[in-house]
Structure formats: structure tokens, C-alpha cells
A and B are shown apart, each in its own frame.
Chain A
Amino acid sequence: MVTYIIRRLIAAVLMLVVVSIVTFSIFFVVPRLAGVTATDFANRYVGSKGATAETVVALADKLGFNDPLTVQYGRWVKGIVAGSDFDTGASIEHCPAPCFGYSFITKTPVWPELLDRLPVTVSLAIGASVIWLVAGVSTGVLSALRRGSFFDRAAMGVALAGVSLPIFFTGMMSLVFFSYKLGITAPGRSYTSFVDDPVRWAYNLILPWITLAFLYAAVYARLTRAGMLETMGEDYIRTARAKGLREPTVIVKHGLRGALTPIITIFGMDVGLLLGGAILTETTFSLPGLGKYAVQAISANDLPKIMGVTMLVAFFVVMANLLVDLLYAVVDPRVRLR
């Protein structure tokens, strides 16, 4: 078990290295191969219409675009491991490890910003995941048990809508209706830290939670329904009934337990990915989380931010993977970790 975890952790680190190389290549190497020069790069970060050629060249030097790509990559990795220095013009500032560099545009260090955005995304992900897990799984169970009933048909119809409707649509509609027409929920861009005011925190996030959860709940309801239909037909369910167990015990302890395994796997991956930023939800509700951060960084071509957020997402996904594997062994005793 311990060996297994250690091996997986080493693999995770290697994975992150690969992700970093791929990300770096996409944003730094590929454009260069396509003929974009160091000055072209720098030009993106000069705001001035009348920027002189010298300004651009100086900026290209300052941002390090003239160095060989391996040096640029090495400098970036070194910053993460050991920190780096930055010239503010007026003085030299040290950015301690893990330093994901300074934004090319706002000139602020990336790592503290990521940490600043993380609570928003975590709040969103956790709240939504609790809602969708409870709502999705219970709907799925009920649908499976009343297969073919009006409830089943209605629930699966709503689930289909949930899967097909894009978040920016459901999100905007619910904002317009619940926040602006009825005034019962918070408007866009409402976020209060949990530490400051837990009630306000929940009130502000309830609409994004439900909107995001709606999408996932739909997926989970369908998954649970399929899983329950399968497990409720298993021989061991018949055994459980033959033992004289009450029906709720049969459904939850025996049926759901069996159906839940694949759901736990997907749940782990979904939450891992969401921790890297629920891009559409955060954009629709203008929540300043990692997803919104990523969108802002990409539209501004702010490479250090893009790299930073990518690495963080990769980290979460890799960790979620590991956690799911471990959890799997706990849930299903037939799985043994080697």
C-alpha cells in the first residue's frame, strides 16, 4: 500500500513535468516554430500605439523572449523550485518559491493570485458537488426504482435538459429571473469569504451552486439510474431480500453500495477538474475564481498566468486520480493496490 502510494506520487510528479513541458510548448515553442519572433511576442505586451522599436526590443529582453527556449523553460522551473527575482523598475523584488513568475501584463506575482482565487473555486466546487451528488443520486435511485413511471420519465427529461443546456444559458436565465426579477438570490459577481460570513457565503453562492449542480446532477442521475437498474437485478439483491431485509436497507445498503462505485470514480475526477476552475460557471456568474482567472489570462495572452493555472489544474487532476484509486480499494474490496 505505502509502496503503491509512493510509486503513484512519483508518477504524479512525472506527469506534472510532462504537463509543464506540453503547456510550455503550446505557448512558447509552437508559435516560435510557426515563425513568431521574440519581438512579435513582446509586441503583444506593449500597450502603446506609438511604442518605439526600442521599447519592444527592451521588453522582449526583459521578458526573456530572446533566450533559447530551454533557458526560458529552465528559468520557469527554477522559479517554481527556488524562487526568482523581478525588477520593478524602482527596485529588485524577490519572489519566493513556488514562484510561477510575474504576469506579463499586471506585473503581479502569479502564485499569490492563484491562492487568492482558490477559495472561490473551492467554495463553488464543494457546494455544487454536495448538491449534485445528493440530488443526482437520489433522483437516479428513485427513477430506477420507479422505472417507467411518470416520475422516472419527468426526471430523465429534466436530466436530458440538464445535460444539453449550456451553463451560460441556464446561468444567465436564472440570474435574470431569480436575482433581477424576483430579487431572491444574489446578483452576478457576489462572493463573500466563508470565514467572514458563512450565511452570506452560502446565500451568494446558492445560484451558481444550483446551476452548476444542475448540469452534473443530470449526469449523475442518469448514471445512478443505470447503475441501480443493473445492481437491483443482481443476485445478491435477491439474496438480501430473501434474508428478510427491509426494502430501504436492500436499496441503500446493498443496491446503492454496488451502484456507487463507478459514481465515486467519476465524482473524484469531476471535483478534481472543478477545483482547477469551473470556467463557464465562474464566467457566467463573474466569480473571481481560478476558471475566470484562466479565461482572463488566456484572452490577455498572459503566459505566466496561463502556465500557473494549468499546472494547478494538472496538480488537482493528478491528485484526484490518486485519491480515486485509493478510494476504489476502500469501496470495492476486490480491488487490491499493488
Chain B
Amino acid sequence: MRKRYATPALVATGVALCLGLSACGGGGGGGQSADSGGAAGQGDAAGFNAALEKVVNPSDKKGGTLKMAITEAWDSIDPGDTYYALSWNFSRIYGRPLVTYNPAPGAEGRKLVPDLAESLGEASDGGKTWTYKIRPGVKFEDGTIITSKDVKYAVLRQLDKDTFVNGPTYFGDYLDLPKDFKSVYKTPDVNTDSAIETPDDQTIVFHLKKPYAGFDNFAATPATVPVPKDKDSGIKYRQHPIASGPYMFEKVEEGKQYTLVRNPNWDPATDPIRKALPDRYELQLGVEANDLDNRIMSGDLHIDLAGTGVQAAATATVQNDPELKARADNPTAARTWYISLLSDTPPFDNVECRKAVIYAADRVGLQNAYGGQLAGEIASGLMPPSIGGWQKLDLYPTGTGDVAKAKEALAACGKPDGFETTMTFRSDRPKEQAAAESMQQALAKAGIKLTLKGFPTSEYFPSYAGKPAYTKKNNIGIATNGWAADWNDGFGFFSQIVDSRVIREAGNYNLGVKSPEIDALIDKANLEQDAATRDAIWGEVDRKVMEGAYVLPAVWAKGLTLRGKGLTNVFVTGAYDMYDYLNLGVE
């Protein structure tokens, strides 16, 4: 799912722009040395990076108001219409999906645990049929018992992409839906048992068109949060989603604030994973980014909901203040900032020419362009380390550029004197511009001459870099890019960016990875039932992408995040690489 940063697709919504910018602003201590070893620790409760591996400030104390804020609104609080990591993380306080991620620090947090369901999905029919049992006695905020039919309705309603344009399409792609089914609103009477069966109020059975071993990840999306049919008001449901979790919406003011209070019909006996500590949540939208940082530092706010990390100004403050630093973490994100090499644009149809670019690039310069060591680690592969199956690759040097090797590759490509090509970047992102300028300088040393062209984020993929007709016509060979995993596994990260079969007329994020070998590996991984083997295949995909020199990875992103004063049960979950919102409390 979407990480804290705006993903390319998000960017297309425009909402993401600000998230993207704040992401860019985060951790901007360009070139400064990160003291990631911790220090300035004050007892057990705190310390730099303390929340990465353990629970900071564990507590069971109930009460208080948890104050969150975000610079911009996200797409929607309707669980069927959202595609942001922060939202998937946060929505769990008011909605219970079938399964969810284990509320635990680090890698433990990537494990799936049952939530509304009694246990994880039970696969049959070679991974084509998945069965879940709903816990008995779980109620909506109005006291109605939640049944399997509410989950079925929730999953089916969000398939109406005319109404809900934001959410992912996994269920639509995989469920074996009848041909005449259009949407729950337009064809309410069509029998959909071929896709989802509810033999009784407790049981729900999903039937897939093709086997998929990681279906529990689908079941962990908010799409499975139950929605009562008689309360569904289509696009207006977002004005008050009905709670199944411990909190329900008190007030929804779009673009201003959301407040949540305890849901009297939530029964802790049905919910082994939630502590439900605060009495109340206050969530402010549209808070100015620097003010948000200042308020967390001063103790007026508890957490930045976006989880993207603080702005450049606060980065400096935090680094120089031991008290603040003890409240900060520098987690890696399942996000890679990289540079696509467009294999359809000559001479990049030749792998050696692509390699020449990777050899010539100044990797340290790129790291600085993206904000320095606190903002990202120099990437040796496309896949970020928090994805299962990650392995350290060592195919190319990661120094300041190897001109000799670049020239060798150029000779092998038949272009010993270099060549000229155009590089695009998102003009409203200063870091991408800096990256493009670094590339221009570094490549010039090897004789590769770059012309730089910037385009606005909202048009970047729909009209320029992601539109093959445009890139071919305009000799665009290099383009800045960036991607975050939908969820932390290979499919969640790779499916949209290395599979050549997803390339469309426009709006692509895969700008040049075209390899039948990689496509075959993706299919193989999707069929593999064993998680470890599957992860290994994804690791192989990463290696193939790098061997084929389709991309030049710049950095694996990191953010400098702050734990608010008095916040309890804080830890960074490996599922989202941000603070886990499930069990936070206040002192």
C-alpha cells in the first residue's frame, strides 16, 4: 500500500502533492552524518531510534485525548475508497478488516494476525478459494451485530470505481465476478456468490479467478472493513463511516478536522489486539508543515499522521537538541527514489548504454540531492530493505562515479564518444531537480550529454514521462521516478513498476523495464504458496532488474520522525514503516 510518501499514482490525484513535498522536505540534513547509533538516551523510555526495535513508553493507562495532525487531507476516510498507508494504518481504530498487521515493532509488525476474522485465511482449491470465520458478537457503533454479509457488501461496493475512484483494484482483478455484475448500486440483484459466498453469518468465502498465495494481504486492506448496507450512502458514506473498531466518528469536517470518541458497542473481548487507550482522538487537517513540527516539539500535538518525517528546519533543530533527538526516529521506508532508463529510447535499447549511465552516475551526489544521509541510504537495488526477500546487491559501484567503467560500457554499446539524450524530472520537486542536475554533471564526464526538462507533478506520468508516445517522440531516455510498496512484500512493491504487461498508453510508472524473464518470475511468485520461497523469487526479480540496468536506484528513503510528548506504546511497525496507530496512548 501507499507509504507515507506520495507515490506516483497518488501524485496524479494532486492531493499527494503536499505529502510528496513534505516528504521531500523531511530529513533534509544534506550530507550531515547521521548518528544512527543512538545517543542521548534518557532511560528506557526514549533514545534516538528507540521506537525502531522496541515499544517506547509501554503503558495500559486509559484516558486522555490523542492529538494528531496532517498537512493535507488524504483521499478518504471511507475504508472502501482509500489508498494511503497512513489511512490504512489509521483506519484500524474505527474499522476492523478481516486480518491486519501484528502490532509490534520492526519486522514482527509485518506478520499478519486475525482481526475481525477468528484466524488467518484458509486456502483451498490451490489458492483460489479463501475462507474466513467472522468473530461472533462484534457490533457496529449502532449495536447491530456484524455478519459476513456486511464484509461481503463492503468488498463488493468498493468495486464500483465510478463512485470510489481512490482505492486499489485487487479484489476486482482477482474475484470471480459474474459478467452481468456492474456495481452494488446499479445491479443490486445480481447473484455474486461465484465471487463471495456467505454460507452463514460467520463465514465468508472468496473465490478467485486465479490462485494467489498472498490473499491475506488483500484481506488486510480496509476494503474488508464491514459496511452496513442500509447505512451506505455511496460517496457520501465518507461523511460518517460506521465504526466497527473501538472508536467512532464524532465529527467529520472535510479539510478541517475529524474527531473520534469511544464506540460504546466495541467489546474488548472480541478484540485481542487493540488496547484502545485514549478516550478521544482529535485529528487536524491542513496544518502548516513547519507549525506541525513545532507543535510536536512543544508538546501541543502527539503525532504527525502522515509519518513522512519533519521538515528541513526541524531536522536541524532535532539534530542539535539532545532532548528532541531522544524523541526522534529515523526509519527506512519501503520506498525507493530512483531514475528510470527508458529502454525504448535509443541508444538505451542497448543494455551497455544503460550500464554506462549507472557507472557514470555520482551516487553520493544523488544521495545529497535527495536530502542526505538522514533522508535516505544509497540504494544498490530497486527493492528497499524492508521488503521480504531483499538481498544486498553489489553489481555496480556506489561511489562518486566510475568514468573508466562508463567509457568501457559506452565502447561496448558502440558509442565510444558518448551520446545525447533528454532527462525529465518533476519540476515542482526541488530534490528531483537537484538529482537531474547531479546526473547532468556526472554523465558529462563520460561524454553523455543530458538536456533537462521539468514537468509538473500532476502531468508527469499522465502526459509526459509515463506516456510512451511522448517519450519516444522527444528522445527522452532518462526520467526521475520513485515508488513505495503497497504493502511490504515483493508483489506490493514490484507489480506496477517492473511488469512489462502493465504498460498502457499513458499514466505508466513502469517507464522501461521490459523483460520476458522478469514477467515470468512475477507469475511464478504469484503462484508460490510458501512465503519464504516467494520472497526469494522477488529478490531474484530485483537482481534481474539491476542486471538488465533498467533503473539507476538513488536512495532508499528514510524519514526523521518525532514521538510527541507523553505518547505511550510508540513503535515503528514494519508493516508501514511508520508509527503504529493501533495502540497509541497518552500519559
Task: List, in ascending order, chain A residues with CB within 8 A of B253's CB.
Answer: 116, 288
Check if A325 is an interface residue, CB within 8 A of chain B: no
**A90 vs B505: C-alpha distance when bound (angstroms):** 32
Task: List, in ascending order, chain A residues with CB within 8 A of B458's CB.
Answer: 44, 301
Binds B, one of A127-135, A262-270, A278-286: A278-286
A225-258: which have CB < 8 Å to B? none
Question: What is the minimal beta-carbon distance from B73 to any residue of chain A, in angstroms?
Answer: 7
Task: List, in ascending order, chain A residues with CB within 8 A of B298's CB.
Answer: 179-181, 187
Tally of chain A residues near chain B (CB < 8 A): 55
**A55 vs B355: C-alpha distance when bound (angstroms):** 38
Q: Are B236 and A93 in contact (CB under 8 A)?
A: yes
Q: Are B165 and A55 in contact (CB under 8 A)?
A: yes
**A50 vs B170: C-alpha distance when bound (angstroms):** 8
**A45 vs B463: C-alpha distance when bound (angstroms):** 14
Q: Are B291 and A48 in contact (CB under 8 A)?
A: no
Task: List, in ascending order, chain A residues with CB within 8 A of B288's CB.
Answer: 168, 188, 283-286
Q: Are B255 and A107 in contact (CB under 8 A)?
A: no
Check if A88 is an interface residue, CB within 8 A of chain B: yes
Check if A300 is an interface residue, CB within 8 A of chain B: yes
**A179 vs B284: C-alpha distance when bound (angstroms):** 18
Binds A, one of B7-15, B23-31, B144-152, B340-348: B7-15
B292-318: which have CB < 8 Å to A? 292, 294-295, 297-298, 300
Check if B228 is an interface residue, CB within 8 A of chain A: no
Binds B, one of A64-72, A150-158, A291-299: A291-299
A62 interface neighbour in B162, B173, B234, B505, Cβ under 8 Å = B162
**A51 vs B509: C-alpha distance when bound (angstroms):** 12
Chain B 71-101, CB-CB to A under 8 Å as 1, else 0, gives 0110110000111000000000000000000
Q: Are A299 and B17 in contact (CB under 8 A)?
A: yes
Tally of chain B residues near chain A (CB < 8 A): 68
**A89 vs B15: C-alpha distance when bound (angstroms):** 22
Check if B520 is an interface residue, CB within 8 A of chain A: no
Check if A275 is an interface residue, CB within 8 A of chain B: no
Task: List, in ascending order, chain A residues with CB within 8 A of B83's CB.
Answer: 47-49
Check if B254 is an interface residue, CB within 8 A of chain A: yes
Given the known inter-chain contacts A40-B506, A89-B163, A172-B291, please indicate yes or no for A105 contacting B236, CB distance below 8 A: no
Task: List, in ascending order, chain A residues with CB within 8 A of B255's CB.
Answer: 106, 113, 288, 293, 296
A180 interface neighbour in B167, B294, B506, Cβ under 8 Å = B294
- Which residue on B lies nearest to A92, using beta carbons? B234
Check if A175 is an interface residue, CB within 8 A of chain B: yes
Secondary structure call for the B interface:
loop
**A55 vs B237: C-alpha distance when bound (angstroms):** 20
Q: Are B165 and A48 in contact (CB under 8 A)?
A: yes
Question: What is the minimal beta-carbon distance from A210 to any residue of chain B, in angstroms?
Answer: 16
B123-180: which have CB < 8 Å to A? 160-170, 173
B382-426: which have CB < 8 Å to A? none
Chain B 229-270, CB-CB to A under 8 Å as 1, else 0, gives 000111111110000000000000111110000000000000
- Which residue on A lies nearest to B74, using beta carbons? A47
Task: List, in ascending order, chain A residues with CB within 8 A of B256's CB.
Answer: 288
- Which residue on B lies nearest to A288, using beta carbons? B256
Q: Are B14 and A44 in contact (CB under 8 A)?
A: yes
A37-68: which have CB < 8 Å to B? 39-40, 43-56, 58-59, 62
Given the known inter-chain contacts A43-B462, A296-B73, please indicate yes or no for A188 contacting B165, CB distance below 8 A: no
Q: Are B233 and A90 in contact (CB under 8 A)?
A: yes
Q: Are B162 and A188 in contact (CB under 8 A)?
A: no
Question: What is the minimal beta-carbon distance from A305 to any residue of chain B, in angstroms?
Answer: 9
Q: Are A180 and B297 in contact (CB under 8 A)?
A: yes
Q: Are B294 and A172 in contact (CB under 8 A)?
A: yes
Q: Are A176 and B284 in contact (CB under 8 A)?
A: no
Task: List, in ascending order, chain A residues with CB within 8 A of B181's CB.
Answer: none
Question: What is the minimal beta-carbon distance from A280 to any residue of chain B, in angstroms?
Answer: 10
Check if B496 is an interface residue, CB within 8 A of chain A: yes
Check if A108 is an interface residue, CB within 8 A of chain B: yes
**A208 vs B386: C-alpha distance when bound (angstroms):** 43
Q: Are B284 and A51 in contact (CB under 8 A)?
A: no
**A113 vs B162: C-alpha distance when bound (angstroms):** 24
**A301 vs B17: C-alpha distance when bound (angstroms):** 10
Task: List, in ascending order, chain A residues with CB within 8 A of B233's CB.
Answer: 88, 90-91
**A324 vs B17: C-alpha distance when bound (angstroms):** 39
A20-52: which have CB < 8 Å to B? 35-36, 39-40, 43-52
Q: Are A44 and B12 in contact (CB under 8 A)?
A: yes
Check if B486 is an interface residue, CB within 8 A of chain A: yes
**A49 vs B81: C-alpha distance when bound (angstroms):** 13
**A189 vs B13: C-alpha distance when bound (angstroms):** 25
A to B contact number (C-beta, < 8 Å): 186
Question: What is the minimal beta-carbon distance from A186 to any residue of chain B, in angstroms?
Answer: 10
- Which residue on B lies nearest to A56, using beta carbons? B507
Q: Are A188 and B17 in contact (CB under 8 A)?
A: no
Question: What is the minimal beta-carbon distance from A67 to any residue of chain B, in angstroms?
Answer: 17
Chain A 67-107, CB-CB to B under 8 Å as 1, else 0, gives 00000000000000000000011110100000000010111
A171-207: which have CB < 8 Å to B? 172, 175-176, 179-181, 187-189
Q: Are A107 and B162 in contact (CB under 8 A)?
A: no
- Which residue on A lies nearest to B428, using beta carbons? A299
- The winner among A53, A189, A285 for most chain B CB atoms within 10 A is A189
B168 interface neighbour in A49, A113, A188, A302, Cβ under 8 Å = A49
**A43 vs B286: C-alpha distance when bound (angstroms):** 24
Q: Are A47 and B185 in contact (CB under 8 A)?
A: no
- Which residue on A lies nearest to B84, using beta carbons? A47
Q: Are A300 and B173 in contact (CB under 8 A)?
A: no
B38-62: which have CB < 8 Å to A? none
Q: Are A40 and B169 in contact (CB under 8 A)?
A: no
Q: Are B297 and A107 in contact (CB under 8 A)?
A: no
- The winner among B15, B165, B297, B507 for most chain A CB atoms within 10 A is B165
- Which residue on A lies nearest to B462, using beta carbons? A43
Q: Are B165 and A286 in contact (CB under 8 A)?
A: no
**A303 vs B419: C-alpha distance when bound (angstroms):** 43
B286 interface neighbour in A39, A113, A176, A288, Cβ under 8 Å = A288
Q: Are B284 and A189 in contact (CB under 8 A)?
A: yes
A209-229: which have CB < 8 Å to B? none
Task: List, in ascending order, chain B residues with CB within 8 A of A106's CB.
Answer: 73, 76, 238, 254-255
Question: What is the minimal beta-carbon distance from A274 to any residue of chain B, in angstroms?
Answer: 18
Check if B504 is an interface residue, CB within 8 A of chain A: yes
Question: What is the minimal beta-carbon distance from A293 to any residue of chain B, in angstroms?
Answer: 7
Q: Are B13 and A44 in contact (CB under 8 A)?
A: yes
- Which residue on B lies nearest to A47, using beta carbons? B166
Task: List, in ascending order, chain B residues with CB within 8 A of A107's CB.
Answer: 235-236, 238
Given the known inter-chain contacts A47-B13, A48-B169, A175-B294, please indicate yes or no for A40 contacting B163, CB distance below 8 A: no
A286 interface neighbour in B81, B286, B462, Cβ under 8 Å = B286
**A47 vs B10: C-alpha distance when bound (angstroms):** 6
Task: List, in ascending order, chain B residues with CB within 8 A of A284's CB.
Answer: 288, 291
Check if B567 is an interface residue, CB within 8 A of chain A: no
Task: List, in ascending order, chain A residues with CB within 8 A of B294's CB.
Answer: 172, 175-176, 180, 188
Q: Are B236 and A90 in contact (CB under 8 A)?
A: yes
Question: What is the minimal beta-carbon distance from A296 to any residue of chain B, in angstroms?
Answer: 6
Given the known inter-chain contacts A59-B162, A299-B17, please indicate yes or no for A50 contacting B168, CB distance below 8 A: yes
Task: List, in ascending order, chain A residues with CB within 8 A of B164's CB.
Answer: 89
**A43 vs B294: C-alpha distance when bound (angstroms):** 35
**A302 vs B13: C-alpha distance when bound (angstroms):** 9
Q: Are A48 and B254 in contact (CB under 8 A)?
A: no
Q: Are A48 and B295 in contact (CB under 8 A)?
A: no
What are 27 of the A-B contact pairs (CB < 8 Å)? A36-B459, A40-B463, A40-B506, A43-B506, A43-B507, A44-B462, A47-B10, A47-B12, A47-B82, A48-B168, A49-B7, A51-B161, A51-B507, A55-B162, A59-B165, A88-B233, A89-B162, A90-B185, A105-B14, A168-B288, A176-B294, A181-B298, A187-B300, A188-B287, A286-B286, A300-B72, A301-B458
Q: Which 8 residue pairs spanning A and B have beta carbons closest together? A: A89-B234, A90-B234, A89-B163, A47-B166, A49-B9, A180-B298, A301-B14, A88-B234
Other A-B pairs, 10, CB within 8 Å; known A44-B458, A105-B14, A105-B75: A47-B12, A49-B509, A50-B173, A89-B160, A89-B164, A106-B254, A180-B298, A283-B288, A293-B255, A299-B15
